[in-house]
Structure formats: structure tokens, C-alpha cells
Amino acid sequence: MNTNLVSKILLVSMVLVLVSCTSAPTAAPTPVPPTATPEPAGPAAPAYENGNTIVLTTGEWVPYTGETLAEYGFFTEIVTAVFDEMKMTPDYMFYPWERAEKAIGDGEAWGAFPYSANEERAKTFAWSDNIAYGRTTFFYYKPHMEAITWEKLEDLQPYVVGSVTGYYHETMFADAKLNVDASSDEASGVKKLQAGRIDLFPMADLVGWALIKELFPDEVENFGVLEKPLDQTELCIMVSKSDPEALKLLDEFNAALQAIKDNGIYEEILTKYGLTSEE
């Protein structure tokens, strides 16, 4: 091979190597910082709680509660005063009693009132401290019978005793083997009493007299109550005992209830309605 030709080939090869070594290097990729792990979200607020507003259910039980009553009734006014003390706002939903109770289990409402504790409810619900008393007595209609005395429920076996379907005293009357005539509501029972279809009808004192004044305003004096009451129970708010948030709020409610009893607001509300703390 021609020596000059070999020399030229070697020279071109060296030039190509030098050019490739002096070319600008490819830029390294910009490192991407790792994606930050998001903070876990806190627990969602219960459906019955919206900021400082709490949903409660109740029903028509004049004068304790009523959708058309001033302040929704004296019991509801006390509940409102407690939430004022807590710097919270209650939102009242008026339902039939069965639905009012169910709304707690469904998480629609924090609590329902006014209810009294019993063994069956204690399986599912927890209770506030006592808000008011409910004294249940037997009403009678004077033109049809005179007042009687009784010591135990079995003493009432000779009489037709009214009741309301689903009320707590149904079991008591059945155990005592009373002759019971059930009604769908208290108004129906009062009408049966006035018509002579039943002899005795149990109602909370305040509820009974309010209902008689509404249904028979010209005959109030014709109604009476037996001296011995059926019972006197504490009326409270009930909440789900399986809901930790509900139980926490219940403790706060009880503390605020005691506060308005201590500062006189509770007694002021009762006095406004002509009541005492024993009624």
C-alpha cells in the first residue's frame, strides 16, 4: 500500500477521535424530588354534626315539646339553654316517636328527647342527666265513675284501662292481667275516656291536662286523676352508646346542664311555665 495513503488515513482517524472527545456531553437529567406522602385525613364529622350545629329529634308531647309551641315547649327550651351554654346550636327535627328513636341509630341525629330509661333501651342507648320529671297518673271521667284507690296494678283488674300502643306500660299492664284497650295515641285515649269506652287512662300529668284543655275545654272539671301515681320518671336525652363522639358530646352536655342549674337559668325557665324542679 502507498505509504502516503496510509498516513492520510491515520491522520483522518485521529481527527475524528479528537472531535468526538471535544463534543459537548449530553446533559444529565434533572433529578426529580420524591413525591411527599400526604398527611392522613382526620375522621369525618358525624352526619348529625355540622360545625357548631347538632341535630336532635323529638316529637309532639305538649307541653314538654311541640313544633307549634313557643320555644318548642319548656323541655326543648331547657335543651336549647344547655346548648347555648356549650356555644352550640341545636337543630330540632320533629318526627313520630319511632322514627325519632331510629334516627339515632342511623346517625341522622345525635340524640332524641324526652325519653325515660328502661332495661330494653339501656341495651342500645346512653342517657343524659335528668332534665325534667314525668309523673304518670291515671285519669278518669267523673260523670262515669268516682275516684278509686289502688295499691298494686292487680287492683285495677275490674276496670277497662286504656293504653297507647308501644308505650312502656303495656308490659306492666299485661303482667298484671289488666283489661286493656289500646289506642294509637293519647288524644284517642282521652276521647275514649270521655265517651265511657274506658275507665282509666294513664298519662303524664302535664300532658294529660294540656290535652284535655285542647279537646274538651268546657269539661276540664269533669276529669280527675287518681291520687296514687303510676310512676315518676326522669326525662332525658338518649344517644347511641356505640358512638364515641356522641358519648363525648353527652359528657359536655351534662356539664353544661349542671352549669345552667347552678347559674339559675334552669329554674328561670321552669318558673316561666309555672313549674318546679320536681315536676
Question: Residue 210 is part of a domain; what is its CATH number?
Answer: 3.40.190.10
The sign of the torsion formed by the CA atoms of 204, 210, 214, 220 equals positive
Same domain, 154 and 65: no
In a domain, 265, yes or no: yes
Portion of the chain with pLDDT greater than 90, in percent: 71
pLDDT for res 121: 86
Domain count, the chain: 2
Same domain, 207 and 153: yes
Say yes or no: 119 and 240 in one domain: yes
Retrieve residue 19's grid coordinates.
472531535
Does residue 20 lie within any of the structural domains? no
Which pLDDT score is estimated for 226?
Answer: 97
Q: Tell me, what's the pLDDT at 38?
A: 53
Tell me the mean pLDDT in the region 125-132: 96
Q: Which amino acid is at 153?
A: L
Residue 35 lies in a domain: no
Q: What secondary structure letter does DSSP report for 65? A: B
- Domain match, 257 and 143 both: no
Nearest CA to 139 out of 194, 185, 219 is that of 194
Is residue 15 situated within a structural domain? no
* pLDDT tens per residue, range 23-60: 444 444 444 444 545 555 555 667 888 889 999 999 99
Q: Measuring CA to CA, how many Å separate 181 from each of 3, 9, 102, 178?
A: 133, 123, 27, 9
Q: What is the mean pLDDT of residues 118-133?
A: 92
Residue-level pLDDT at 267: 95
Whether 260 is covered by a domain: the verdict is yes
Q: Is the pLDDT of residue 128 over 70?
A: yes
- At 181-214, the pLDDT tens digits run 999 889 999 999 999 999 999 999 999 999 999 9
Same domain, 218 and 107: no
The grid coordinates listed for 204 are 303524664
Q: 95 and 166 share a domain?
A: no
Query: What does residue 237 show for φ and ψ, rounded to 5 degrees?
Result: -95, 135
* Mean pLDDT, residues 113-123: 88
Task: Quick: pLDDT tens for 54-107.
Answer: 999 999 999 999 999 999 999 999 999 999 999 999 999 999 888 999 999 999
Tell me which residue range forms the domain holding 253: 49-133+235-272
In a domain, 144, yes or no: yes
In terms of domains, do 123 and 245 share one? yes
- What average pLDDT does this structure show over 236-264? 97
Between CA 95 and CA 112 the distance in angstroms is 10
- Beta bridge partners of residue 67, listed in sequence order: none
Do 58 and 129 lie in one domain? The reply is yes
Average pLDDT, integer, range 159-174: 90
Q: Is the pLDDT of residue 152 over 50?
A: yes
Given this model, what pLDDT does residue 228 score? 95
Query: Max CA-CA distance within the chain?
Result: 149
- 8 A C-beta contact, residue 128 and residue 134: no
Q: What is the value of pTM for the model shown?
A: 0.76
User: Does residue 225 surpass a pLDDT of 90?
Assistant: yes
* Domain end point (choices 201, 216, 232): 232
CA–CA distance, 180 with 177 (Å, rounded to integer): 9
Together in a domain, 139 and 157: yes
At residue 279 the predicted structure's pLDDT band, cuts being 50, 70 and 90, is low
114 and 146 housed in the same domain: no
Q: Specify the pLDDT at position 218.
A: 97
Mark whether 111 and 184 lie in a shared domain: no
If asked whether residues 208 and 147 sit together in one domain, one would say yes
